Amino acid sequence: MRRLETEVLVIGGGATGIGVLRDLAMRGFRAMLVERYDLAHGTTGRYHGLLHSGARYVVRDPQTASECIQENRILRRIMPHCIEDTGGFFVVTPWDEESFVPQFLAGCRQANIPVEEISISQMLRAEPLLNPHITRCFHVPDGAADSFRAAEANVASARAHGAQAFTYHQVQKLLVTADKVNGAICRDMVRDEEVVIYTDVVVNAAGAWAGQIAALAGLNVPVLCGKGTMVAINHRVLNTVVNRCRPPSDGDIIVPAHTVAVIGTTDVPVEDADHYGIEPWEIQRMLDEGSKLLPRLSEMRILRTWAGVRPLYASEPAQNDRGISRGHVLLNHTERDGLAGLVTIVGGKWTTYRLMAEDTVDLVCRLLGTQRECRTHLEELPVVEEGSSRTYHYLGAPLAHVEERNAPGELVCECELATYQMVEHALASGEVTSLDDLRRDVRLGMGPCQGGFCSYRAAGIMHQMHTQNSIETFRLLQDFLQERWKGLAPVLNGDQLRQARLNELLYRAILNADRKITQMA
């Protein structure tokens, strides 16, 4: 059994866990992170990509609203390359109550969120596809965020300050002796070996799985899993985040995300964050409600659907998941349960991940009897992607990079403009174990063709660089195509059905991709 030692062990490779790792490292702690899959594999990589201004919560959850606008400003300063400055509209449709507007405006003022009413003609000049029967429109500083790029930047910063991060390390057991957690036993899923990690403090930042981690120490942390289903339109029909000006509900927001637009989201309780389905009524709800913002939505090509699971923590009973605060909860298990050496952080939003990490590390400092100031709000995150710069991301940036390098013939993924160089750079990191990992790094297969023309190319590059045998490469290709199919199958219709049929012909008729692995051995 491999043995490692550190001062603080962080469990969970989502935004919060990665943020905690960076904060710990910048304060001079020896810190280590373990994640059972790839970074941002869970909820962080499965949300609609919104950088909240906080305006969505000003009426029902003013504390979260204040935190969002505070962190919105910080994130724009420290990682503009992970953000697109789209701005946001809150609009009153014919289905919304005008009486909500005074509460909304008062909440924005109280939370110090800049809000400005613009004319409907201004709104339609900016977004001509919006419903012309909208009666009022308010501009707020919402934005779009790339959670994958932000995760890579935070880990790069943490490692530059001496931290370690291990993906595909699943926690199997917490080491508990004399009412104290002393470490964890993990399974290295790549090497298929056990690793024991000894530490002074364990930070449980496993998100929707935080309750399962706490249970390994015999503790009850009631994390409520709220599934949010989203639907992507295959092209970018809006350049501004658009919200309905009403209490948060299903299908009341559309977010421009790179080359697509995302309609979100439902909020359905599920028992298990690993096992849940997407129901037809959820997709229909997204389309029906989205049509109230975009009347021509029925004519548009729907690309795919997916869902993420919110890690909600209800300190008090609520009528439904939307009644639970989106604020974060920090649990000191020394005080709560008499078990030292363990801290759990749950709840929150992607927008507030840095603040959540700061609060968590402040508690770690107190537990270890030291005082060290947070600097994550002061120091910029590094730019780790080839071709990126320290400015706001914009839709045309990937094309500009390709044209600058005169590299149109080097494209692996035409939809997302991922080049051979980008793919090779990601593979050279040594942390890519599947094509789905590569998707998170370079957006492979996330465009309209959903992997039809880039999957086999990327598999070939991976085969060559990692010198894998053909059976393993074939298995990776099959797994990736199957994952893409999961999001396609529920929405197949019209042009997207034709695209899926073309992909099927490419991979089944030409590449024989549905051939059983056993037939190749």
% the chain with pLDDT above 70: 95
Q: 351 and 51 in contact (C-beta within 8 Å)? A: yes
Q: 130 and 56 in contact (C-beta within 8 Å)? A: no
Q: What DSSP character marks residue 301? A: P
Residue recorded with tokens 């023309």: 453
What is the Cα–Cα distance from 9 to 104, expressed in whole angstroms?
A: 41
At 322 the pLDDT is 54
At 466 the pLDDT is 79
Tokens of 398: 């990937």
Question: Is 50 exceeded by the pLDDT of residue 520?
Answer: no
Mean pLDDT along residues 372-382 = 96
Architecture of the domain spanning 81-142+224-323: 2-Layer Sandwich (3.30)
Mean pLDDT along residues 355-383 = 96
Mean pLDDT along residues 58-87 = 96
Query: What would the pLDDT profile of 47-71 be if each residue is shown by its tens digit?
Result: 999 999 999 999 999 999 999 999 9
Tokens of 249: 């509900």
- Comparing CA positions, the residue from 151, 149, 123, 155 lying closest to residue 136 is 123
Question: Is 60 exceeded by the pLDDT of residue 320?
Answer: no
Question: Is 90 exceeded by the pLDDT of residue 404?
Answer: no
Q: What DSSP character marks residue 80? A: G
Segments in 372-434 forming alpha helices (H): 397-404, 420-428
Residue 39 pLDDT class (50, 70, 90 cuts): very high
Question: Is 80 exceeded by the pLDDT of residue 366?
Answer: yes
What are the structural domain ranges in the chain?
Answer: 81-142+224-323, 397-519
Mean pLDDT along residues 174-201 = 96
Strands 418-419 and 253-257: unpaired
Q: What angle do CA 400, 426, 431 make, to 5 degrees?
A: 155
What is the Cα–Cα distance from 459 to 255, expressed in whole angstroms?
A: 31
Query: What would the pLDDT profile of 431-477 be if each residue is shown by its tens digit?
Result: 899 999 999 999 999 988 888 999 999 999 999 887 668 888 889 99
Mean pLDDT along residues 163-167 = 97
Q: 184 and 195 in contact (C-beta within 8 Å)? A: no
* Helices 435-442, 470-488: inter-axial angle, 10-degree rounding: 60
Mean pLDDT along residues 480-490 = 90
Question: Is 90 exceeded by the pLDDT of residue 327?
Answer: no
Residue 196 pLDDT class (50, 70, 90 cuts): very high
At 467 the pLDDT is 66
Q: In what order do the strands lie in the sheet with 193-198?
A: 2-5, 193-198, 180-188, 169-177
What is the Cα–Cα distance from 477 to 304, expressed in whole angstroms?
A: 19
At 516 the pLDDT is 64
Give SS3 for 326: coil
At 409 the pLDDT is 79
- Comparing CA positions, the residue from 479, 421, 415 lying closest to residue 450 is 415
Centre a 10 Å sphere on the Cβ of residue 165 and count the other Cβ atoms it contains. Answer: 24
Mean pLDDT along residues 326-351 = 93
Residue 33 pLDDT class (50, 70, 90 cuts): very high
% the chain with pLDDT above 90: 76
Distance between first and last Cα of the chain: 31
What is the Cα–Cα distance from 9 to 196, expressed in whole angstroms?
A: 11
At 408 the pLDDT is 74
What is the Cα–Cα distance from 19 to 21, expressed in whole angstroms?
A: 5
| Rama region for 254: left / alpha / beta (φ>0; ψ in -120 to 50; rest) | beta
Strands 342-347 and 201-204: parallel
Q: 382 and 156 in contact (C-beta within 8 Å)? A: yes
Mean pLDDT along residues 125-141 = 98
Residue recorded with tokens 């059994």: 1
Query: What would the pLDDT profile of 497-513 be if each residue is shown by its tens digit?
Result: 888 899 889 888 888 88
Question: Is 80 exceeded by the pLDDT of residue 307?
Answer: yes
- Comparing CA positions, the residue from 449, 30, 13 lying closest to residue 260 is 449
At 197 the pLDDT is 98
At 402 the pLDDT is 86
Query: What would the pLDDT profile of 235-276 be if each residue is shown by its tens digit?
Result: 999 999 999 999 999 999 999 999 999 998 999 999 999 999
Question: Is 60 exceeded by the pLDDT of residue 319?
Answer: no
Torsion of CA 335, 358, 308, 414, to 10 degrees: -160
Residue 521 pLDDT class (50, 70, 90 cuts): very low
**DSSP E strands: which ranges in 379-481?**
411-413, 418-419
